[in-house]
Amino acid sequence: MARRGRESANPSLLNSGAQYTGSRPKLLHRRNHGAAAGLRHRRLRRTPQVPRPAVREGALEPGKSARRGACPRLILANSTRALVVTKQLQTWTILATLIAAMASSAVAAPVDDAAMRSRIERVLSATPVIDGHNDLPAALRHDFPDQLWTMDLSGAAASPITKLQTDIARLKKGHVGGQFWSVWIPGSMTGAEAVKATLEQIDIARGFTERYPQTFAMAGSAADIEQIQKSGRIASLLGVEGGHQMGSSISVLRQYYGLGVRYMTLTHTSNNELADSATDNPVHKGLTPFGRAVVEEMNRLGMLVDVSHVSPDSMRQAIALSRAPVIFSHSGARAVCEHPRNVPDDVLKLVAERDGIVMVNFYSGYVSNDFNRWSADLAAETARYNSPPYDGIYIGQPDLAAAALARWKAAHPKPVVTTAQVADHIEHIVKVAGIDHVGMGSDFDGIDGEAPEGLQSVADFPNLFVELARRGWSDDMLAQLAGRNLLRVMRKTEAVAADLKSVPLGNPSVADLTK
């Protein structure tokens, strides 16, 4: 979950401690851009660089060289040189025009698009997408609270589910064969209240998995995922998105594992008793003693240690401590988009050393610096106009505040974010960590619809693979990204758990560990 009142959009919701109703800020309008910007991006990337001729200044203008009093031989030499250079320039211009024409005709009729698409269909049919993060359970709670256990997920045209980013028809179209359903609850909930709300979210995800046995089946291992995929179905796995959901009890964590939870993110958007978050002021300087005990227990259980959302110090310490490879269930590359939620290059190298994986998030604010900046400005403007109970230029006058915000938006259009930019994150991770350490972590239905054009829903995964194939990726590389890397990380985690089977159970409390 990237937003939905969770990460940055509305801190008051996170801190209110109010009863969990799945509240989230007003949805930002989704933009339905065409493919034009993506095409522009590709065109920019593909336009060949024509080397400039080495022309000295002034040589093109003989009059400048024929200065009064200059030696006639020099004038002649300069004129001859000017002629030669002019001819060279003409040649360059013709060449550049030819190359540009070839490039633009390549864009106008891209490499047999139908052939490329059928290649991707073949790759993803053999190795379906295993996505690291989808917030459908929280979206259902927010948008359809009266139908939590009955909602029609088929994706039939008339179904209200189609306003979300996930339904069965689109999962199939997107070649999804494994999905970690996030069972997120707000970070403001702790203790018994957090455990109850988490169990309800687990019940929602398990509920729809059981209601559609032809489509879904619960998976507990890499072998289960492969078997379910072979039967043509989608493997359901669960991810707890924050250590606050344990209710301070390692015993509760073990029971989550029993219910199908296969990863836990150590923090959400705030520091907690396990570790510092990337989006909070550092307090613990990484993991706490309790957090370290939790990582050890996760290794013992065979639960993936997820370090999305945590501070860079927490990332480094968890990677060093964990005996199993760690995952980033939904994060991007910080060198590409400077958001603290993204993974710095030194950490990417550590991920590779310990054989982990970064599953790339599609949320526009983590993909694009421009969008991230625009989003922060929008939040600031919104607060400036109307932030009850004390502040705001138009405090208590919502109509004036709304009109002022509309004027600001008209003057500051939302930056366009493209599928190609997500591919840039993936390629950066491959460049720094290697092809074995990248995967998919879309965050669909946790991002208020703010996804790049071409990646608007779970149906659109193939578009990203087409983009990478156009950049020269082989079928093997695409298959690794789709799911093979995640399966390897799960198998290693399971092997570590098997080695640790003889470690006795414990349930140390936060207090015990901070004595």
Q: Compare residues 1 and 487 and give the one whose CB is closer to Zn ion.
A: 1
CB of 247 to Zn ion, least distance (A): 20
Q: Is 510 helix (H, G, I), strand (E, B) or coil?
A: helix
At closest approach, how far in Å is the CB of 407 from Zn ion?
32
Active-site choice (142, 244, 268, 339): 268
Q: Which residue is nearest to Zn ion (CB)?
A: 1
Catalytic residue, chosen from 241, 445, 448, 467, is 241
**Nearer to Zn ion (CB atom), residue 132 or residue 174:** 132
From the CB of 268, what's the least distance to Zn ion, in Å? 7
Q: Exposed e or buried b for every residue in 90-119, given b needs 16+ CB within 10 A?
A: eeeeeeeeeeeeeeeeeeeeeeeeeebeeb
Looking at 7, 41, 131, 133, which residue is catalytic? Answer: 133
Cβ distance 274 to 310 under 8 Å?
A: no
Pick the catalytic residue: 41, 175, 284, 330? 330
Question: Residue 419 is which amino acid?
Answer: T
Q: Does 1 bind Zn ion (CB under 5 A)?
A: yes
Measured from the CB atom, the residue of 1 and 246 that comes closer to Zn ion is 1
Can 330 be counted among the known catalytic residues?
A: yes
- The gap between the terminal CA atoms of the chain, to the nearest Å, is 34
Instruction: Determine the interface stretch with Zn ion among 1-9, 44-52, 80-88, 123-131 (rule: CB under 5 A).
Output: 1-9
Compute the least distance from the CB of residue 194 to Zn ion, in Å. 16
What residues from 317 to 376 belong to the interface with Zn ion (CB under 5 A)?
A: none
- Active-site residue flag, 61: no
Which one, of 124, 225, 122, lies nearest residue 481 by Cα? 124
3-state secondary structure of 401: helix
Number of residues lying near Zn ion (CB under 5 A): 1
Rank residues 134 and 480 by Cβ distance to Zn ion and give the closer one. Answer: 134
Q: DSSP secondary-structure letter at 474?
A: -
Of 78 and 331, CB closest to Zn ion: 331
Calpha distance 205→183 (Å, rounded): 8
Query: Would you call 135 a catalytic residue per the annotation?
Result: yes
CB of 181 to Zn ion, least distance (A): 13
Instruction: Report the residue number, 1 or 298, with the smaller CB distance to Zn ion.
Output: 1
* Of 7, 41, 131, 135, catalytic: 135
Q: Is 241 a catalytic residue?
A: yes
Nearer CB in complex with Zn ion: 1/161: 1
Interface with Zn ion, residue 185, by CB under 5 A: no
Q: Catalytic residue, from 7, 167, 443, 450: name it.
A: 443
Token pair for residue 247? 């209710």
- Catalytic, 133? Answer yes
Question: What burial letters (b/e) apply to 264-296, b meaning 16+ CB within 10 Å?
Answer: bbbbbbbbbbbbbbbbbeeebebbbbbbbbbbb
CB neighbourhood size of 501 (10 A):
8
- Residue 240 lies near Zn ion (rule: CB under 5 A): no
CB of 309 to Zn ion, least distance (A): 6
Asked if 324 and 492 touch (Cβ cutoff 8 Å), the reply is yes
What is 132-172 written as a DSSP string?
Answer: EEE-HHHHHHHH-GGGTTT---S--TT-GGGGSS--HHHHH
**Which amino acid makes up residue 114?**
A
Binding site for Zn ion (CB under 5 A): 1
What amino acid positions are annotated as catalytic residues?
Answer: 133, 135, 241, 268, 309, 330, 443
